[in-house]
């Protein structure tokens, strides 16, 4: 049986999440306290106990001068003891009907494993949200700029100023997944919880995360090439000699961060939408 979530489901879903994903207890508790909503959740039950579930989180999507609602599929999971019974397939198909009833034009997601790309493609999803990765290597000219603020903790951030700059850069993009203040606040909490470092001023913004010997910038905005160089040199000086990987539209061959599906036959799914960092 498929139904929407209930308050009494949360503990069961949190235990299932821990079985299915590699997230920490702290993140799981945060997600179900701050992000989870019963009316955005579908569960497949046996004897009224959830054995599979997914969330459909609403995001505003801007394409050109138009705005649409998109349902972000999050936390799609099946308890290990109940897999290979088609429960997730039924949940996904049911979610399309629910999202259409809510007036959503798109549904989108981020496959957590490569093999899931083919799985979701069976339901009409296609590759979307391109990222064009370029590299910046440490140079002797790299030094910390007095004009760039560096934050390692959300408690010291001027949130309103930060969100104003972040949302302004998003709005300037032709096709983009927008973030509300609450969604951005949740992303920020997750980012700092994962030991990310934020570089920011009124002319530039960069989320940075260290992986092995590489620094990734999942969101990197700048007003002009001079600001871009100033930020890259500051980030390079902060971390040392690691290579910085960042999104640069001048690179010709993209990698795709996620997948998208149109829920409206009159609207063709846009695939060249900027997504940026999400609560994944």
The reply to whether 122 falls in a domain is: yes
Q: How many structural domains comprise the chain?
A: 2
Q: What is the pTM of this model?
A: 0.94
Please say if the pLDDT value at position 189 is more than 90: yes
Please provide the average confidence, as pLDDT, over all residues in the chain. Answer: 95
Q: Which two tokens stand for residue 59?
A: 């995001």
Whole-number Å distance between alpha carbons of 24 and 78: 18
The reply to whether 277 falls in a domain is: no
The reply to whether 140 falls in a domain is: yes
pLDDT classification of 197: cutoffs 50, 70, 90: very high
The reply to whether 201 falls in a domain is: yes
Q: Which domain holds residue 230?
A: 133-247
Measured N-to-C along each axis, helices 159-171 and 181-193 cross at an angle, to the nearest 10 degrees, of 110
Please say if the pLDDT value at position 182 is more than 90: yes
Whole-number Å distance between alpha carbons of 42 and 95: 7
The reply to whether 279 falls in a domain is: no
SS3 assignment, position 175 = strand
* Residue 172 sits in the same domain as residue 123: no
The reply to whether 236 falls in a domain is: yes
* Residue 87 sits in the same domain as residue 163: no
The reply to whether 207 falls in a domain is: yes
* Residue 51 sits in the same domain as residue 7: yes
pLDDT in tens, 62-113: 999 999 999 999 999 999 999 999 999 999 999 999 999 999 999 999 999 9
Please report which residue ranges of 204-269 form alpha helices under DSSP H.
225-239
* Residue 160 sits in the same domain as residue 78: no
* Residue 123 sits in the same domain as residue 24: yes
- pLDDT > 90: what percent of the chain? 90
pLDDT classification of 8: cutoffs 50, 70, 90: very high
* Residue 114 sits in the same domain as residue 170: no
* Residue 48 sits in the same domain as residue 137: no
The CATH number covering residue 54 comes to 3.40.630.30
Cβ-in-10-Å burial (0-12, 13-18, 19+) of 61 comes to buried
Whole-number Å distance between alpha carbons of 83 and 62: 36
The reply to whether 272 falls in a domain is: no
* Residue 148 sits in the same domain as residue 89: no
């Amino acid at each position: 049986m498929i139904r929407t979530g209930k308050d009494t489901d949360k503990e069961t879903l949190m235990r299932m999440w821990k079985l299915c994903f590699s997230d920490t207890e702290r993140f799981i508790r945060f997600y179900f306290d701050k992000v989870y909503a019963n009316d955005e959740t579908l569960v497949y039950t046996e004897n009224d106990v959830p054995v599979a579930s997914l969330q459909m989180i609403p995001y505003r999507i801007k394409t050109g001068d138009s705005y649409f609602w998109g349902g972000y599929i999050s936390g799609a999971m099946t308890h290990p003891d109940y897999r290979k019974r088609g429960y997730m397939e039924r949940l996904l198909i049911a979610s399309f009907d629910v999202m259409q009833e809510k007036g959503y034009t798109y549904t989108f997601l981020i496959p957590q494993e490569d093999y899931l790309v083919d799985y979701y493609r069976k339901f009409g999803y296609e590759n979307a949200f391109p990222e064009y990765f370029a590299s910046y290597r440490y140079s002797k000219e790299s030094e910390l700029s007095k004009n760039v603020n560096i934050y390692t903790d959300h408690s010291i951030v001027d949130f309103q100023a930060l969100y104003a700059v972040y949302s302004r850069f998003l709005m300037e993009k032709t096709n983009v997944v927008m973030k509300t203040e609450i969604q951005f606040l949740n992303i920020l909490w997750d980012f700092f919880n994962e030991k990310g470092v934020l570089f920011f001023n009124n002319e530039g913004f960069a989320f940075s995360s260290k992986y092995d010997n590489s620094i990734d910038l999942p969101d990197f905005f700048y007003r002009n090439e001079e600001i871009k160089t100033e930020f890259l040199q500051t980030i390079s000086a902060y971390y040392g000699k690691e290579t910085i990987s960042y999104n640069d539209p001048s690179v010709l061959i993209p990698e795709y961060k996620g997948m998208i599906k149109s829920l409206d036959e009159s609207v063709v799914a846009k695939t060249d939408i900027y997504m940026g960092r999400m609560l994944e």
